[in-house]
Structure formats: structure tokens, C-alpha cells
């Protein structure tokens, strides 16, 4: 399994807008977590302008599909998003453990 980071760039008034869509967004996120795809997710603080979601998957398509259907993206709370493969090398869940 590989690790992928999904970065969300939020719109300026994200904090005020999210209440309407938060329940459906969290339901989608917890469902992905239950399937073992989404490992961790949340917004960066001070300022709350970026979201970071860590996925575990064989391909980036799982992550892209999540973003395209996420209520935050669909309803305009996310200005832009991108998926980056993260080569993890240290830790119990590292995709490519490197021990010296």
C-alpha cells in the first residue's frame, strides 16, 4: 500500500460555511476510514486555510474519487485540491520502511 496526501485549499470564509456541509463531509470521511482508505484528516490551524487528509491506497484514484464527491468540494468550500504520493519510510505503517 502507498500513502497519499490530499491537500484542500479552503475558501476565505470556510469556517463560517462548513456548518451546513460538515455532517455529510464527516460521514463520507468516516466511511472512507472504515474501509481502511482514510487514515487521518483535519484542518490546519491558525489560519484554518488548508485541510490535509492522509490516505492509504494502491492508486491515487481512490483519493481523487473521494475529493470529487466530497461535499466540501462539491459545494465550493474548497478553492483547489491536489493529491501527492507520500513516500513514508519510518514508522510502523511506513510504505517503504528504511532501517539502517
Domain CATH for 73: 3.30.70.1060
Identify the domain containing residue 16 by its residue range.
Answer: 2-86
CA distance 96 to 31: 26
Helix runs in the chain, H state only: 14-17, 22-34, 61-69, 71-74
**pLDDT tens track for 63-98:** 999 999 999 999 999 999 999 999 999 999 999 999
Closest CA to 35 of 14, 62, 75: 62
Task: Please indicate, yes or no, if residue 33 is contained in any of the structural domains.
Answer: yes
Spell out the residues 6+ positions from residue 48 whose beta carbon is closer than 8 angstroms to its own. 10, 14, 15
Q: Structural domain tally of the chain?
A: 1
- The residue written with cell numbers 470529487 in the block is 68
Could you tell me the pLDDT band of residue 13, with boundaries at 50, 70 and 90?
very high
Tell me if the pTM is above 0.75: yes
Amino acid at each position: 500500500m502507498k500513502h497519499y496526501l490530499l491537500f484542500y485549499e479552503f475558501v476565505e470564509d470556510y469556517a463560517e460555511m462548513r456548518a451546513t456541509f460538515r455532517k455529510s463531509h464527516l460521514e463520507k470521511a468516516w466511511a472512507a476510514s472504515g474501509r481502511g482508505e482514510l487514515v487521518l484528516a483535519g484542518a490546519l490551524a491558525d489560519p484554518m486555510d488548508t485541510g490535509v487528509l492522509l490516505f492509504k491506497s494502491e492508486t491515487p484514484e481512490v483519493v481523487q474519487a473521494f475529493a470529487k464527491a466530497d461535499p466540501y468540494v462539491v459545494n465550493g468550500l474548497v478553492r483547489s485540491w491536489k493529491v501527492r504520493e507520500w513516500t513514508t519510510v519510518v514508522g510502523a505503517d511506513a510504505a517503504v520502511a528504511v532501517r539502517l
